[in-house]
């Protein structure tokens, strides 16, 4: 098939950082024999404005001969909705949503009619609304093995790699102080700065230690997972710590050989078996205790890491995800069988 992947290339606008969804929307499809072109609607919207972006999108589809469009939504319109609705006259458009647990009512449901199909990663959203919206599909985040290295020496005991939201700081600070958690990524300087988080102090520290406070590229994040025995895996939403999400990292670290130490989440148990393929925790104290245990007990840790790897490899590659989506919408499946 000829596919137009409409997805941003840069992670949170960082010029040297690749958005994981850009890779997911391109590499697995190319590897399976599809022709994939890229349309960066986020960048174009910023450069030429939403209306001109919409016109360019329509022109691309009118003359491109595409069989399918994959479209990354982002909680706001990057082009007029009328342009998307017009575009689906030329080819089916499949939207991929994030954060539907808190933005379904305010945003996602309102743009759904513009698309041929819309994917949510939240089972409860799908179950509640599939009767009303026949074009709503359920899928899930996946993993590529591009940067995974299961056999890499595990020289980091306990780590977190990712963006440090303000709401994450208290728990990360406690784990750093009490359990030796190593924190990497944008905002990590908040963790070891004094609790008062004085702005000028943080700014000075960030200049002195720039490597401790930068956004990580996907390759760098995977390098940390590949080296880590136990990976702290928070699941709470940045907008509301009480909301537990299914984060992409739960699948993305699955081939690295790390153990996922994760907030207990019933939705995640649809995809991995607790206690066998990942380790759930109910509180920060429980998290500390289990981190210490699996750091010290190598055989038990390796058994869970291997089960986590096997399940991920057999069910949760991005190839599996796209194959499932293509079957649901009745277009060509991937050209090679997924191992």
Confidence of residue 337 (pLDDT cuts 50, 70, 90): very low
Mean pLDDT value across residues 247-259:
95
pLDDT at site 336:
44
**Same domain, yes or no: 119 and 216:** no
**Same domain, yes or no: 69 and 15:** yes
pLDDT at site 332:
66
Q: What is the domain extent for residue 104? A: 2-142+317-329
- Asked if pLDDT for residue 278 goes beyond 50, the answer is yes
Confidence of residue 333 (pLDDT cuts 50, 70, 90): low
pLDDT at site 148:
95
Determine how many CB atoms are found less than 10 A away from the CB of residue 111.
Answer: 17
**Same domain, yes or no: 324 and 283:** no
What stretch of H or E contains 53?
A: helix 50-64
Rounded Cα–Cα distance for residues 184 and 148 (Å): 18
**Same domain, yes or no: 310 and 165:** yes
Confidence of residue 186 (pLDDT cuts 50, 70, 90): confident
pLDDT at site 244:
79
Rounded Cα–Cα distance for residues 313 and 319 (Å): 10
In a domain, 261, yes or no: yes
**Same domain, yes or no: 121 and 160:** no
Q: What is the CATH number of the domain that holds 210?
A: 3.40.50.2000
**Same domain, yes or no: 296 and 325:** no
| Residue 36 and residue 26 in contact, taking contact as beta carbons nearer than 8 Å | yes
Q: How many domains does the chain contain in total?
A: 2
pLDDT at site 335:
45
pLDDT at site 38:
97
Q: How far is CA 288 from CA 81, 138, 150, 223, 292, in A?
A: 47, 34, 24, 23, 6
Determine how many CB atoms are found less than 10 A away from the CB of residue 70.
Answer: 24
- Asked if pLDDT for residue 199 goes beyond 80, the answer is no
**Joined tokens for residue 219:** 């390759």
**Same domain, yes or no: 304 and 323:** no
Mean pLDDT, rounded, of the chain? 88
Mean pLDDT value across residues 115-121:
96
| Residue 238 and residue 165 in contact, taking contact as beta carbons nearer than 8 Å | yes
**Same domain, yes or no: 298 and 165:** yes
Rounded Cα–Cα distance for residues 114 and 81 (Å): 6
**Same domain, yes or no: 161 and 127:** no
pLDDT at site 15:
67
pLDDT at site 200:
60
**Same domain, yes or no: 125 and 167:** no
User: Minimal CA–CA distance to 109: which of 125, 122, 88, 93?
Assistant: 125
């Amino acid at each position: 098939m000829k596919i137009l992947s409409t997805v941003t290339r840069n992670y949170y606008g960082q010029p040297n950082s690749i958005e994981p969804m850009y890779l997911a929307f391109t590499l697995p499809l190319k590897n399976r024999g599809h022709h994939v072109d890229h349309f960066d609607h986020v960048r174009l919207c910023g450069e030429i404005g939403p209306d001109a972006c919409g016109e360019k999108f329509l022109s691309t589809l009118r003359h491109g001969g595409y069989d399918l469009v994959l479209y990354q939504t982002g909680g706001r319109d990057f082009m007029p909705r009328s342009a998307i609705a017009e575009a689906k006259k030329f080819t089916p458009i499949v939207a991929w949503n994030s954060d539907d647990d808190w933005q379904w009512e305010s945003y996602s449901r309102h743009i759904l009619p513009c698309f041929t199909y819309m994917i949510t990663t939240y089972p409860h959203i799908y179950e509640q609304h599939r009767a009303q919206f026949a074009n709503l599909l359920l899928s899930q985040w996946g993993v590529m093995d591009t940067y995974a290295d299961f056999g890499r020496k595990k020289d980091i005991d306990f780590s977190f790699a990712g963006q440090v939201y303000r709401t994450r700081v208290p728990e990360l600070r406690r784990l750093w102080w009490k359990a030796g958690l190593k924190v990497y990524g944008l905002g990590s300087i908040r963790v070891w700065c004094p609790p008062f988080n004085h702005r000028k102090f943080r700014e000075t520290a960030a200049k002195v230690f720039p490597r401790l406070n930068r956004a990580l590229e996907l390759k760098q994040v995977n390098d940390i997972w590949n080296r880590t025995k136990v990976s702290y895996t928070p699941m709470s939403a940045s907008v509301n710590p009480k909301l537990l999400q299914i984060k992409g990292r739960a699948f993305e670290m699955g081939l690295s050989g790390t153990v996922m130490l994760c907030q207990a989440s019933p939705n995640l148990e649809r995809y991995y078996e607790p206690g066998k393929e990942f380790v759930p925790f109910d509180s920060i104290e429980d998290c500390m205790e289990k981190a210490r245990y699996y750091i010290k007990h190598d055989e038990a840790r390796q058994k869970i890491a291997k089960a986590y790897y096997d399940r991920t490899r057999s069910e949760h590659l991005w190839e599996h995800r796209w194959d499932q989506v293509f079957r649901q919408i009745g277009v060509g499946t991937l050209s090679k069988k997924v191992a």
